[in-house]
Amino acid sequence: MQEYLEEHVNLKVWDKTVPITREQLFKELEDVEGFITSGVKVNEELLRQAPKLRVVSTISVGYNHFDLEAMNTYGVIGTHTPYVLDDTVADLVISLMLSAARRIPELDAMTKRGDWKKGNAEQSFGVDVHHQKLGIIGMGRIGEKIAQRALFGFDMEVSYFNRNRKYEVEKKLNIKALPMDDLLKESDFIVLLVPLTSETKQLIGEREFILMKKSAIFINASRGQTVDEQALINALKTNEILAAGLDVYEQEPIDPNNPLLKMENVVTLPHIGSATLKTRNAMAMVAAKNIVAALLGEGSFYQVK
Ligand code: DGY
């Protein structure tokens, strides 16, 4: 990535081991036209400090850290990195489903501390993934990859809810669209994959958890704020649902005192959906190409809207 950028633009890089402070970042941005980041809030406050800025390229598919209205006002283009991470994130979602259903982290810890349960000890039983019903909320590219894995790898019955029907995907994969409430009521596994917007903020809350089966396993690999986290904690505590697999949280990094971290029926990951070396390198390369194309006006780039 760095080599490619150096071939095309004058580059400065924050390569210190400590994260850059907001003040230092503002200072560095005073004279730049392009900015590559992943997760730094790009809002009016930042844009005011960067009078020459024309393009911000995020090394992520999600871009909820962009204030698009402010960027528009300041004439700054935003770009992101779709496609290259779809399979990797789908793999992670399936692993969260399997881990939560078969209680992998809990049983791993139990085995390692020498607490082996003999014979058919029911304390170690999990639930099946294969042949169960999977409901996907948010049928984008990653949703489709998850559906493929669930259908062809695990013989699951897959349904989805999406703001707009995806007729092509329905036909290709033979999956059905359901109204959200029906999906919540019928699914054994519910995977949330919507981008974070004002419409999807706290999309899943107390009402939605009550609608789910008591045996439901809830997976969130989108953004933490798409869920009312307190409602999730309550639903898990009161056995309103069986378990959860989480890659994202309302606050990141998660507060070490968050009750989710103490629950055995919750599998927690540190927002690593796309984190394999190969995929992260591919995302960095797409981000680099995006910024070069947008700055130099050559070729296409993945602009966010
Ligand atoms: C993204 O790219 O938005 C993902 O959340 C990274 O894991």
Active-site residue (options: 7, 45, 252, 264):
252
> Cβ(221)–Cβ(89) under 8 Å?
yes
pLDDT at position 118, please?
72
Is there a shared CATH topology between the 2-83+276-296 domain and the 86-268 domain? yes
Residue nearest to atom 2 of ligand 1 (CA): 60
**48 labelled catalytic:** no
Read off the pLDDT band of 117 (50, 70, 90): confident
Number of helical H runs and strand E runs in the chain: 12, 10
pLDDT at position 298, please?
87
What is the arithmetic mean of pLDDT over 287-296? Answer: 98
Q: Point out the ligand 1 atom lying closest to the alpha carbon of residue 81.
A: 2
**7 labelled catalytic:** no
Cβ of 61 below 6 Å from ligand 1 = yes
**113 labelled catalytic:** no
Query: Cα of 273 to ligand 1 centre, how many Å?
Result: 6
Query: Cα of 302 to ligand 1 centre, how many Å?
Result: 15
Q: What tokens were used for 248?
A: 């994202």
Q: What is the pLDDT of residues 223-235, one digit of tens each?
A: 999 999 999 999 9
Cβ of 290 below 6 Å from ligand 1 = no
Q: What CATH number was assigned to the domain covering residues 86-268?
A: 3.40.50.720
Length in residues, the chain: 305
Read off the pLDDT band of 218 (50, 70, 90): very high
Q: How far is the C-alpha of 75 from the C-alpha of 232, rounded, in Å?
A: 39
Active-site residue (options: 223, 229, 240, 280):
223
Cβ of 60 below 6 Å from ligand 1 = yes
3-state secondary structure 23-60: HHHHHHHCCCCEEEECCCCECHHHHHCCCCCCEEEECC
196-203 CB contacts, 8 Å cutoff, 24+ apart: 196/62, 196/64, 196/222, 196/223, 196/225, 196/226, 197/64, 199/163, 200/226, 201/225, 201/226, 202/226, 202/227, 202/228, 203/137, 203/227
Domain boundaries, the chain: 2-83+276-296, 86-268
Rounded to 5, what percent of the chain is helix, strand, coil?
A: 40, 15, 45
CATH architecture, range 2-83+276-296 = 3-Layer(aba) Sandwich (3.40)
Q: How far is the C-alpha of 7 from the C-alpha of 122, rounded, in Å?
A: 61
Residue of 36, 40, 61 to mutate, ligand 1, most atoms within 8 A of C-beta: 61
**pLDDT at residue 121 is higher than 90:** no
What is the arithmetic mean of pLDDT over 53-63? Answer: 97
DSSP per residue, 176-198: EE--HHHHHHH-SEEEE-PPP-T
Query: Cα of 122 to ligand 1 centre, how many Å?
Result: 37
Peptide bond into 253 cis (omega under 30): yes
